[in-house]
Structure 1
Amino acid sequence: MPIKSILHKVAHPFSSTSKAASSITFDKFCNIIDGKQRSGDQIHNAINPRTQEKLWDIPIATENDVNDAVKAAERAFQDWRPTPIENRQKLMKEYIQLWKEHHTEMTDLLMAENGKARTMAIVEVDSVSAFWEYFSKITFPVEEFEDEQKVVKTIYKPLGVAVGISPWNFPLSLSLAFKVAPAIVADCPIIIKPSPFTPYTAAKAIELAQQIFPPGLIQCLGGDDRLGPWLTGHPDVKKISFTGSIATGKKVTEACSKDLKRVVLELGGNDPAVVCEDVDIEATAAECAMGSWFNTGQMCVCTKRIFVHEKIYKPFMEAMIKFTKTLSLEAEGEGALLGPVQNEMQYEKVLEVVEDSRVKGGGKGFFINPTIVDNPPSDSIVWKEEPFGPIVPVQPWKDEADVIRRCNDDKTGLGACVYSKDIERAERIAANIDSGTVWVNSFEKPVPEAYFSGHKMSGLGGEGSVKGMLAYCNATVNQRYKKNVNYA
């Protein structure tokens, strides 16, 4: 299957060719506190993973900055809370238009800080528009019950100040799309903490938001290892939404437990894909390859273990290798999909998993060629651990019950894929896989309309959809009786 036809299913058609109308610049970066840009005495510089060159200065937030941001958010909460949902969503639509005007600049900035191929960077920038479009139109559910004695209504009230902690692999999608948009429509001010590996796009996106939203409603703090504990431990923060590793997720949960903050965790996964013997081999091999190599394999929900029915194992492997060889390992060319691993620490980790120096790319940058591992042992590192890079192991299977057991033989359960022309069979297999989302006849493609959550150690709670928005709320039940009860 041609690359462009597969990408057509992935990308959202929100690309803008218009020139920026606002006065924002893309060569100076600050924290955003109470509607204003704030510098600092200490600075940090991220690294361009394609060139290994130092990028722009960005300030490291202090504990005083955290306190000021939370106070500003509390003030914004009191002012924003009476705002009708229609007015909130009107401002969201204005931001979408402003976002589209800066599409090219945001794409270029994302490529510089994250290393994404241009095609992948465009997909991520467009995802912000897609999620904001969705949340700018949703309504709160109406839950009401009535009988002869009473009327019972459930209403939803905003929690208050929220914090979103986002990772380096999707610095825009996992801050602006998954966290900021639902918080705003739910009436909650939010402070975003981007990864120090990718601090620029979120800071600039939130600087842009100050042209639309009131001060203190959407803020951004970048910093070092002290910043996360300051935010998760702050007594006036009511909700934490964290995306990242299982190890750090446990620390976030421990910090939130001290005052019982609401917490949502979207953590790692080791997602299986089950390929049945009746598939179109060439098309399915391309889908599995896209699921494995999307964002250079640096995605919490992407294909990380592939089970191929033994009857088609050899031709499937040949087709997947053939398709993978068509992909370009760089970041600038038209249609290129693969970029470098985002940072040196992850680069070294991926190389250790493969233990083969031949996968190293040439020249500067943290480039690694995509690697398919043929039938490794089930106790091998590449099979048991999430590599978070362009590596995928493949094993054969023949018994349906056994392949389901092998899919579930993992501590995580974020996503999974099942491929078969027999939809009843595919959905039967899908129903027995312990994952938050199972895609049938497609690689992993989260959408704003669907609740995105993990089973087992892949997380707590979820994001996306109306249900994800309600995670920023407390439910209150109003139970009204129609007449007094005579107890005599």
Structure 2
Amino acid sequence: MSAFVLPKPITATVAGAAYPTRTTFDVVNPATGEVFATAPDASAADVDAAVRAAHDAFATWRSDPAARRAALHAAADAVDAARDEIAPILTAEQGKPLTESAREVATAAAYLRYYADMQLERQVIRDDAQALVEIAHRPLGPVAIITPWNFPLIIGTAKIAPALSAGNTVVLKPSPFTPLSSLKLGEVLRGILPPGVLNVLSGGNEAGAAMTEHPLIRKISFTGSTATGKAIAAAAAADLKRTTLELGGNDAAIVLDDADPATVAAGIFPRAFSNTGQVCVAPKRVYVPESLRAPVVEAFAALARNARVGDGADPATQYGPLNNRPQRDRVASLVRDAVRRGATIAAGGSEIAGNGYFYQPTILTDISDGTPIVDEEQFGPALPIIGYRDVEDALTRANATHFGLGGSVWSGDPERAAAVAERMEAGMTWVNTHTATSFDQPFAGIKWSGIGVENGRWALEGFTEMHVIHRAR
């Protein structure tokens, strides 16, 4: 299959126009390991230009809700119309199958449409002879949005849409591993959104630091690693910037003793290995009763052996490469470490030969807590299956982590499973499914997995500040 060729360079967007940077950096196709494009490398001065453009656009954008609604609907239509143009770019830079890239573009458009008509109405909390007291919500100002490389468009628009709907303006910086699809989004929306309302830059640490430290930025919305989230929180604290931080996860799935092994494997496997395991809220460790461990392991292993791994541009591919070499090497290192500690590989267990960043879907057993691949977020196609004595043992071990994003319980008795799920220390828990989300369902972690809420009305509120209007009578 021929390698993807970018038709022309993609540019940054500042103040509604193409914005040149002095330097660029290479973008690698993870299916080939080869450079296929370059992206603008924004400096601190470039970030300053983008933030000032957002600041200049804020007063007008915040003042006309009807114009915002119309612009966001038009933006959604424009993204939908550009799906066939954006999706191949996303597959080339991220690695995911083309059908999933097309779905991601469609979801990005749907986020814009979902928030276009959402409004935060004034709330009257007192109305009597002495006073009328109302609560309104006001936008914050220019917002910095920093996104990761696993779902750059979905995560980006899940932040952009409520931020713009609330009346804020945005400076977006995607991961340097996947800059092009977000830059292309900026190009598509030039002329749809007023100049300065959405500014899109790509770059590395210099650009990210300049965004989080800029005095005109009033909120930072970030999705990524816990370590980077802590650094952003520290930078934001100096200026009391508001933050929403959606960080790492090490979700546990607890299988109860009445569950059917084949049903469990069919339910968990595609969610654990979706996007080649590069999903923050995917199940990353599975606890099973010792009595079921052997049949559960074999059911998972059979699915792993039959999985079709390849270039995302190939229609036959189910699972693409890992996005970058460091991540592929980390997964490989974690698996090797687990084997040295006594784990058994039931399926997979090694890199796939070639220039791309491919790794076999891997199932590990004879493993327990205290092993890094169980205790840490592997973020790749390797899943440990861990035996437990009783449900109390499983819950104790599932909860013994700094992470708290999601979790699930699997059983033939949904009510029994729900009682266990309520005791999991996570922002989201599921029964007989995992990673099930929707636009109107809060997405939030606890502990080291994040601060703040995304999706639904809660995300919109998160891009506002409360304003109390008290009228004496």
Q: Tell me how far apart the structure 2 counterparts of residues 451 and 358 of structure 1 sit (CA, whole Å).
A: 36
- Find the counterpart in structure 1 of residue 342 from structure 2: none
Q: Tell me how far apart the structure 1 counterparts of residues 61 and 237 of structure 2 sit (CA, whole Å).
A: 28
Larger mean CA deviation between 107-116 and 304-313 belongs to 304-313
Q: Tell me how far apart the structure 1 counterparts of residues 427 and 102 of structure 2 sit (CA, whole Å).
A: 26
CA displacement at 1:309 relative to structure 2: 2.8
User: Contact 1:26 / 1:204 at 8 angstroms: preserved in 2?
Assistant: no
Provide, for residues 123-143 of structure 1, a one-character-per-residue CA deviation record: whole Å limited to 9, x for no partner: 322221232232123221543
Q: Tell me how far apart the structure 2 counterparts of residues 269 and 381 of structure 1 sit (CA, whole Å).
A: 14
Within the alignment, does 1:430 sit opposite 2:421 as a pair?
yes
Within the alignment, does 1:380 sit opposite 2:371 as a pair?
yes
- Find the counterpart in structure 2 of residue 63 from structure 1: 44
Q: Tell me how far apart the structure 2 counterparts of residues 388 and 327 of structure 1 sit (CA, whole Å).
A: 18
Q: 2:139 aligns with which of 150, 158, 174?
A: 158
Larger mean CA deviation between 248-257 and 311-320 belongs to 311-320
Larger mean CA deviation between 272-281 and 424-433 belongs to 272-281
Question: 1:188/1:374 Cα in 2 relative to 1: closer, same or farther (>3 Å)?
Answer: same
- Find the counterpart in structure 2 of residue 351 from structure 1: 332
Letter in 2 for 1:341: L
User: Contact 2:30 / 2:321 at 8 angstroms: preserved in 1?
Assistant: yes
User: Contact 2:261 / 2:299 at 8 angstroms: preserved in 1?
Assistant: yes
Letter in 2 for 1:198: T
- Find the counterpart in structure 2 of residue 220 from structure 1: 200
SS at match of 1:389: coil
Question: 1:462/1:345 Cα in 2 relative to 1: closer, same or farther (>3 Å)?
Answer: same
Q: Tell me how far apart the structure 1 counterparts of residues 104 and 305 of structure 2 sit (CA, whole Å).
A: 24
Within the alignment, does 1:189 sit opposite 2:169 as a pair?
yes
CA displacement at 1:56 relative to structure 2: 1.6
Within the alignment, does 1:125 sit opposite 2:116 as a pair?
no
Question: 1:170/1:304 Cα in 2 relative to 1: closer, same or farther (>3 Å)?
Answer: same
Q: 1:365 aligns with which of 331, 356, 362?
A: 356
CA displacement at 1:34 relative to structure 2: 0.5
Provide, for residues 11-38 of structure 1, a one-character-per-residue CA deviation record: whole Å limited to 9, x for no partner: xxxxxxxxxxxxxx95221111111111
The alignment yields a C-alpha RMSD, in angstroms, of 1.7
- Find the counterpart in structure 1 of residue 3 from structure 2: none
Within the alignment, does 1:274 sit opposite 2:254 as a pair?
yes
Q: 1:232 aligns with which of 212, 226, 247?
A: 212
Within the alignment, does 1:137 sit opposite 2:117 as a pair?
yes
Q: 2:92 aligns with which of 112, 131, 149?
A: 112
Q: 2:270 aligns with which of 283, 290, 294?
A: 290
Letter in 2 for 1:58: A
- Find the counterpart in structure 2 of residue 18 from structure 1: none
SS at match of 2:421: helix
Letter in 2 for 1:27: K
User: Contact 2:335 / 2:349 at 8 angstroms: preserved in 1?
Assistant: no
Letter in 2 for 1:441: N
Q: Tell me how far apart the structure 2 counterparts of residues 459 and 279 of structure 1 sit (CA, whole Å).
A: 31
SS at match of 2:118: coil
Provide, for residues 19-75 of structure 1, a one-character-per-residue CA deviation record: whole Å limited to 9, x for no partner: xxxxxx952211111111112221111111001111222221122211211111111
Letter in 2 for 1:375: D
- Find the counterpart in structure 2 of residue 204 from structure 1: 184
Q: Tell me how far apart the structure 1 counterparts of residues 350 and 27 of structure 2 sit (CA, whole Å).
A: 25
Q: 2:282 aligns with which of 285, 289, 302?
A: 302
- Find the counterpart in structure 1 of residue 318 from structure 2: 337
Question: 1:471/1:335 Cα in 2 relative to 1: closer, same or farther (>3 Å)?
Answer: farther
Within the alignment, does 1:170 sit opposite 2:151 as a pair?
yes
Letter in 2 for 1:40: T
Provide, for residues 215-249 of structure 1, a one-character-per-residue CA deviation record: whole Å limited to 9, x for no partner: 00001111122111111111110000011111111
Within the alignment, does 1:316 sit opposite 2:307 as a pair?
no
CA displacement at 1:295 relative to structure 2: 0.5
Structure 2, unpaired ranges of 5+: 1-5, 340-347
CA displacement at 1:90 relative to structure 2: 2.1
SS at match of 2:253: strand
Q: Tell me how far apart the structure 2 counterparts of residues 143 and 426 of structure 1 sit (CA, whole Å).
A: 38
CA displacement at 1:448 relative to structure 2: 1.3
User: Contact 2:75 / 2:109 at 8 angstroms: preserved in 1?
Assistant: no
* TM-score of the two chains, using structure 2 as the length reference: 0.93
SS at match of 2:152: coil
Q: Tell me how far apart the structure 1 counterparts of residues 402 and 332 of structure 2 sit (CA, whole Å).
A: 23
Q: Tell me how far apart the structure 2 counterparts of residues 58 and 282 of structure 1 sit (CA, whole Å).
A: 45
Letter in 2 for 1:130: A
Q: Tell me how far apart the structure 1 counterparts of residues 433 and 316 of structure 2 sit (CA, whole Å).
A: 20
- Find the counterpart in structure 1 of residue 445 from structure 2: 454
Within the alignment, does 1:87 sit opposite 2:67 as a pair?
yes
SS at match of 2:395: helix
Within the alignment, does 1:255 sit opposite 2:235 as a pair?
yes
SS at match of 1:453: coil
Q: Tell me how far apart the structure 1 counterparts of residues 60 and 294 of structure 2 sit (CA, whole Å).
A: 63
User: Contact 2:307 / 2:361 at 8 angstroms: preserved in 1?
Assistant: no
Within the alignment, does 1:32 sit opposite 2:28 as a pair?
no
Q: Tell me how far apart the structure 2 counterparts of residues 110 and 49 of structure 1 sit (CA, whole Å).
A: 11
Larger mean CA deviation between 200-209 and 440-449 belongs to 440-449
Q: 1:53 aligns with which of 34, 39, 48?
A: 34
CA displacement at 1:480 relative to structure 2: 3.1
Q: Tell me how far apart the structure 2 counterparts of residues 155 and 42 of structure 1 sit (CA, whole Å).
A: 44
CA displacement at 1:78 relative to structure 2: 0.8
Question: 1:452/1:30 Cα in 2 relative to 1: closer, same or farther (>3 Å)?
Answer: same
Q: Tell me how far apart the structure 1 counterparts of residues 197 and 144 of structure 2 sit (CA, whole Å).
A: 11
Provide, for residues 90-137 of structure 1, a one-character-per-residue CA deviation record: whole Å limited to 9, x for no partner: 221212221111112211111100111223323322221232232123
SS at match of 1:406: helix
User: Contact 1:119 / 1:336 at 8 angstroms: preserved in 2?
Assistant: no
- Find the counterpart in structure 2 of residue 417 from structure 1: 408
User: Contact 1:119 / 1:335 at 8 angstroms: preserved in 2?
Assistant: no
Q: 1:404 aligns with which of 395, 412, 415?
A: 395
Letter in 2 for 1:101: A
* TM-score of the two chains, using structure 1 as the length reference: 0.90
SS at match of 1:50: coil
CA displacement at 1:151 relative to structure 2: 3.2
Larger mean CA deviation between 343-352 and 127-136 belongs to 127-136
Q: 2:24 aligns with which of 35, 40, 43?
A: 43
User: Contact 2:304 / 2:362 at 8 angstroms: preserved in 1?
Assistant: no
User: Contact 2:256 / 2:391 at 8 angstroms: preserved in 1?
Assistant: no
Question: 1:152/1:337 Cα in 2 relative to 1: closer, same or farther (>3 Å)?
Answer: farther
User: Contact 1:115 / 1:339 at 8 angstroms: preserved in 2?
Assistant: yes
Q: 2:56 aligns with which of 47, 54, 75?
A: 75
CA displacement at 1:345 relative to structure 2: 1.1
CA displacement at 1:335 relative to structure 2: 5.4
SS at match of 1:95: helix
- Find the counterpart in structure 1 of residue 432 from structure 2: 441
